[in-house]
A and B are shown apart, each in its own frame.
Chain A
Amino acid sequence: MALLTNFIVKDLTFADVQSKYYDLAIFASGYEKRCTQSILALDSNKFAQVVVIGFSKVVAPNLRRRNDNVFLERTGSLPRNDKDVDLPLYLLELLSNVTREANQADRPARILIDYSSMHRQWYGYILTVMNHLLEPRPIAELDFLYSNGVYPQGYESSVENAVLESISPLPAMEGLSASRSSSIAILGLGFSPIAGLGALERLQPDRVYCFVANPGSDHEHVKTALRCNRPLIEKASALVELPLYSLSTAYRGLTELTWPYVDRYHINILPMGPKPHILASMLVAQTFRSVSCLYGKIDLPSGPDIEGNGQYCIGSVVFEA
């Protein structure tokens, strides 16, 4: 068994975050209101350094301007668009400096990441940098914060016909697809049955598992996910329910699901549900080298301006010595 990490995953409350001082806070400015939910609720004086990354792709300029202004007002700086910098290199240098300074002072680096509106490649890369690319291995606490959103009525049905545009693993979470021929697929259920079936068709796994966020933010969402994915669930060996609000439980659940197979199979996890489950999937891929975390790109029309409902799912990934 190839364990790749010595991190542990813990759940935090918003009060825990409010009470902590951070060496670095990373936010994303996008096109929904909830991306500013936490910065408005937190004391920015507790952040030694703030980085806001913006989406280069223009979707709704007015919404973006509104969010940028909030960040400007709260942190004194405007976002840097992802295409304006060499983002992987930028993050590597940023995290390297922050962790080195903190670790030289003989304390863990404390980093807050609000990934509520962040592209999964960005926070995936942050994890990869911390887990694989820094030498010496950093000692750090990465607190991942997710603001739960209020979705408009009928949102699920608007996604139901979404079609899978492409499917590929996140960098450094590719598993062992070239060196293992047998595979397991673990699919996180979203609201698009077509995307899930498409993934199954493309991956041709030897065995399939599904997982769903339950309890979730809204019981109706759970029912919808189960209803519209029924054909997919019928093909699965088991359906696992993982809570939305506990990153550590979701991580442990997925780890237990993959554990029996990691020595013999290449395991693809394709999370199509809420972001905490995407993060949990990434963490499993960071734990076992035979596990891949896939990104199924779904081309949707620009989404609604989702507002936070005041609830947070916060998990801390602690890198120990």
Chain B
Amino acid sequence: MALLTLAVISDIHIGDKARSSDLLPPGMTSELRNEGFLAKFEEFATTLPVQPDCLVIAGDLSCKADAGEIEHASAVITRVARALRIRNDEIFFVPGNHDVDWAVLRHEGPTESTRTLRWSQRYDPIQRTANVFHDRASCSSDTGFEGSLFDAPYAGIWLTPAHHLFVAINTSALDCPLEENHHGYIRKETIDWLMRKIPRRSNADQTVRCAILHHHLTPHGNLGEEARDFSVCQNADLLLEVLRDLEFDLIVHGHKHLPRFELQLIKSDFPIAQLGAGSFSADLGKEYGGGVHNQFHLLTIEGRYADTGRAYGMLRSWAYVFPKGWTPNIRNFAVIEHSIGFGGALDWRDLAKKLESPIAQRARKGTFVPMRADWIGTLKNKFWLSAEANEALFQWRLNLSTCVAFIDTAESCLKEYCSSVERPFAERDLSRMLAKSWFGKTDKSVGTLANLRTALEDAEWAKQLTSLARPCADDEQATSFDLQLFSPLHRGIQVLKRVVKFPQGTIWALALDELEFLEPRHHELINTCLRGKSDLAFKLSTMPYFHHTLQTTTSQPIVAGNDFDYVYLDNDPGIRRSDPANWETWAQSVLSRRIAFVEGRDHSDFTVERLLGNESPLLDEKPSSWSQDSQMMGLLRKYSNSKTIERAHRLPEPKFKDEISRKMHGMLLLRDWAGTHRGRSHHDLYSGPKFFARCSDANPRQLIRLFNELSLTRSIGTELSITESRIRPSHQAEVAVRFSGEALRNAATEEGVGGELYAFVKNLMEFFHDHFYRRPLTTDYYYAISLSDNVSDNDWKLVRYAVGLGLMFPKLTFSQPDQLPERDSGTFNLAFRLAPKFGLLPRQGRSVPLGTAKVVRKAACSEQYSLL
């Protein structure tokens, strides 16, 4: 049973900013249509999957805070609460900036005392009329309320009969019409008051602590240039630290009509679930391009982990769509999903921070198991096995492989924790105990971990033969590897803990790599282990989009955000968005570390410039102006359309750089080369540190591959080395084009889908090539595709594979860098490293619909890139 379920709404805006005429106060006239909003909500409330325990309202009850609006807001909230079967004493709220009566503040008083009087009257519509808000914010033992929302300390505390704590903090207390931006403000006194009033938690405390504010404590990301966020609370950092120290579980806020939900990390070690509730009933028609809908949420705290005290649960959100009514959120029109688990798994940022200290203390132990084709192939070649027998074989093999990999971990632990004198004895004891644990018998011949490895190889070989000899299969004896998945590994960890003393709180992690090649039923078996309580942390790697299923072997599927988190690791979106100089710095850092790793010593004197020179002709910073008789202006006149030429002549210097030279320099150079050269001559445009950094697509592995190609093609047999002298630009260009061709050709190697995928990506690249070379240039460069809801199954399959192989990259947001676009939406950039093969620029570009890009005028394409 859940600890608590909150129904959450915000920004009701009763008055003429509401979306339906039944939200207008009696007597107020407006052109609003009557959508039957409240009746629809009442109908919807009967269908909720969970009965909420309380109703939380995060401010902006009204539009202008006049008495009529407040009175009607009270009636509406009461009706909403009744529909949810919530009593008035289970309502918790905070006023918002629209609940301050600006009308009274607009009139400057003649004296200081008059102004003070007016200031004290700004909450009169709530305080001096009969309404549910006034009732709930009155101090009494009946309400369980302490403090004041409308006067100092501008905060209040409700303690429920079940001892759950709701804290309302009025962040709009200083709001007045004179301010340009209505940001939130948290007074230092308010924070001090909270610290005095709220006790620290005891260890056994299972109750929930929830903070309700109108303004947000952290900036909203992804709002676009036109909707910059100026309204974040001042002093938010101070409040967040207090909430962290007092171990609050939830922060609910309103103000922004764009809903959001995230785990907010405070002081790097304590996550608080933060819900921006959006708006319940304001007219959102013109906001955010009409893409956001009214929201209702149920936030359930399922329980609390005994070891960390951390709460976990589920957020469910619905959107109001006229005329349909309330419907589960889908990402088409709401930023957050309908169902989001939280608290069950570590967010990667959380994890990264959490690992800092344990890594320093060496309190994380990892075991790595890759799933190569030969490993997986052994599950596919036994056509005579039933599905059940095949699953059993998978389980057996994975158990064996994790045990083999665990021996490496154990060996490393012995080296780390045992002195050289102790180590042989510890190894003997450990290997015998592990042998006993895994094989069920004491084997005196096992005295080292090497012996144990051989014993596991013997087991694998014997299994191979017994799986062949079907007539004898029934005689096979079950071993510990036939037990539940990962149970031999668990046993191994326990045994190792008996031999070696580890730091308290040591966490054991198992990394399984390349799981995309497994069957869905294998993923089900692994998923099941994520669901159960375990001391083992898992890192499962698949290609993007290739975690085949969320199903488990039980009826309950795993839930992203609850049982686990998806982290998109294919590249660093921060690097992809940054300017070429940052790419170069990043490449320098990756390669220096790689060289240090390979050669085992510091190579701070290594620089990418030493290998590739200082110039990247296509990407270097451009001069801010081109004189009329300059070569570049000549190229602009030769290859651009008239509108672009006219614009170039018109723009003043700083704008010229931003809008013309920066965008067109590389394009013009490429066009000019292709336009003036024929045959198999080579150019050196594809050269320089910035260019090669770009062609790695912000993926360190690709960067290392690319640089190995550069050095290997010069002196066979050497890996990336700092001793190499500078590589000729023409050779760099040759390598770039070849590397690019190989990247495309590798698409054809993908099992089962290769030929089709190769043709698909090649077709798209030919389209962009054609688009670039056959038309007069403009400042727009095209190098991405966009999907619509009519994308075919097959195209979507190919896009997923292309993303999986790093030939395309979904356009991600900073706020949700791990959330991959769904089938019916999203923009996908083509990989930069494909560009050289097709004579294109490795640069982000505008998108064209997939349907358009698939149509290629084949005749003219190959001519250009065969030159390059």
A interacts with B: yes
Minimum CB–CB distance from B532 to chain A (whole Å) comes to 24
Q: How far is the CA of A90 from the CA of B746 in the complex (A)?
A: 41
A203 at the interface (CB under 8 A from B): yes
User: Which of B374, B408, B460, B469 is A203 in contact with, Cβ under 8 Å?
Assistant: B374
A163: which of B369, B373, B376, B754 is its contact (CB, 8 Å)? Answer: B754
Tell me how many residues of B have a C-beta within 8 Å of chain A: 45
B754 touches A231 (CB 8 A): no
Q: Does A294 contact B (CB under 8 A)?
A: yes
Which chain B residues lie closer than 8 Å to A133 at the CB level?
Answer: 465, 468-469
A199 at the interface (CB under 8 A from B): yes
Contact of A161 among B380, B382, B461, B755 (CB under 8 A): B755
Question: What residues of chain B lie closer than 8 Å to A294, measured between beta carbons?
Answer: 373-374, 377
Interfacial chain A residues near B470, Cβ < 8 Å: 88-89
Q: Which residues of A contact B456 (CB under 8 A)?
A: 179
Q: By DSSP majority rule, is chain A's interface helix, strand, loop, or mixed?
A: mixed
Shortest distance between the CB of B706 and any CB in chain A (Å): 15
CB closest residue in chain B, given A200? B749
Contact (Cβ within 8 A) B468 A171:
yes
Taking CB as reference atom, which chain A residue is nearest B373?
Answer: A202
Give a binary string over A162-198; 1 marks a CB under 8 Å from any B CB, 0 the rest: 0111111111101111111101000000000011011
How many chain A residues sit at the interface, stated as a range, is 35 or more
What A residues does B105 contact at CB under 8 A?
A: none
On whether the beta carbons of B373 and A178 are closer than 8 Å, the reply is no
- Residue A148 at the chain B interface, CB threshold 8 Å: no
Given A163-B748, A178-B400, A179-B453 in contact, is the A204-B377 Cβ separation under 8 Å? no
Contact A231 B742 (CB under 8 A): yes
* Cβ–Cβ < 8 Å partners of A106 in chain B: none
At the interface, yes or no: A248 with Cβ under 8 Å from chain B?
no
Q: How far is the CB of B452 from chain A (nearest CB, A)?
A: 11
Residue from A132, A164, A183, A231 in contact with B372 in the complex, judged by beta carbons closer than 8 Å: A183
Decide yes or no whether A128 CB sits under 8 A from chain B. Answer: yes
Which listed residue, A168, A172, A195, A200, touches B464 by the CB 8 Å rule?
Answer: A172
With contacts A178-B460, A231-B742 taken as known, whether A171 is within 8 angstroms of B381 at the C-beta atoms is yes
B553 interfacial contact with A, CB 8 Å: no
Interface residue B257 (Cβ < 8 Å from any Cβ of A): no
* Cβ-defined contact, B453 with A177, below 8 A: no
| Cβ contact within 8 Å between B469 and A181 | no
Residue from B375, B459, B712 with most neighbouring chain A CB atoms (10 Å): B375
Instruction: Tell yes or no: A266 within 8 A of B by CB.
Output: yes
B404 touches A166 (CB 8 A): no
Of all chain A residues, which has the CB nearest B465?
A: A132
Q: Does A275 contact B (CB under 8 A)?
A: no
Q: Which residues of A contact B382 (CB under 8 A)?
A: 171
Contact flag A177-B374 (CB < 8 Å), given A163-B749, A197-B746, A198-B749: yes
Interface residues of A in 121-146 (CB under 8 A from B): 128, 132-133
What CA separation (Å) do A197 and B754 show in the bound complex?
11
Closest to B459 in A: A179
B745 at the interface (CB under 8 A from A): yes
What per-residue 1/0 map shows which CB atoms of B366-391 lie under 8 Å from chain A? 00011011111110111010000000
Q: Is A34 an interface residue (CB 8 A)?
A: no
Flag if A169 contacts B465 (CB, 8 Å): no
Are the C-beta atoms of B378 and A168 separated by less than 8 Å?
A: yes
A166:B374 contact, CB within 8 angstroms: no
Interface contact B381-A168, CB-CB below 8 Å: yes
Q: Is A169 touching B377 in the complex (CB atoms < 8 A)? A: yes
User: Which of B370, B373, B375, B750 lies at the interface centre, i.e. has the most chain A CB atoms within 10 A of its CB?
Assistant: B373
Of the candidates B460, B465, B751, the one whose C-beta lies within 8 Å of that of A165 is B751
Q: Which of A164, A175, A178, A234 contacts B749 (CB 8 A)?
A: A164
Cβ of A292 within 8 Å of any chain B Cβ, yes or no, is yes
Q: Which of A161, A174, A203, A234 contacts B373 (CB 8 A)?
A: A203
CA distance A82 to B697 in the complex (A): 49
19 A-B pairs within 8 Å (CB atoms) are namely: A132-B468, A133-B465, A133-B468, A163-B755, A164-B749, A166-B751, A168-B378, A168-B381, A171-B467, A174-B377, A176-B457, A181-B405, A181-B408, A183-B374, A198-B750, A198-B754, A202-B373, A231-B745, A290-B457
| Chain B residues with a Cβ under 8 A of chain A | 369-370, 372-378, 380-382, 384, 397, 400-401, 404-405, 408, 453, 456-457, 459-461, 464-465, 467-471, 517, 712, 742, 745-746, 748-752, 754-755, 758
- The 10 A-B pairs at the shortest CB distance, nearest first, are namely A168-B377, A198-B749, A202-B373, A163-B754, A163-B755, A177-B374, A168-B381, A179-B457, A177-B375, A179-B460
Contact surface of A with B, Cβ cutoff 8 Å: 2, 86, 88-89, 128, 132-133, 161, 163-172, 174-181, 183, 194-195, 197-204, 231, 234, 266, 268, 289-290, 292, 294-295
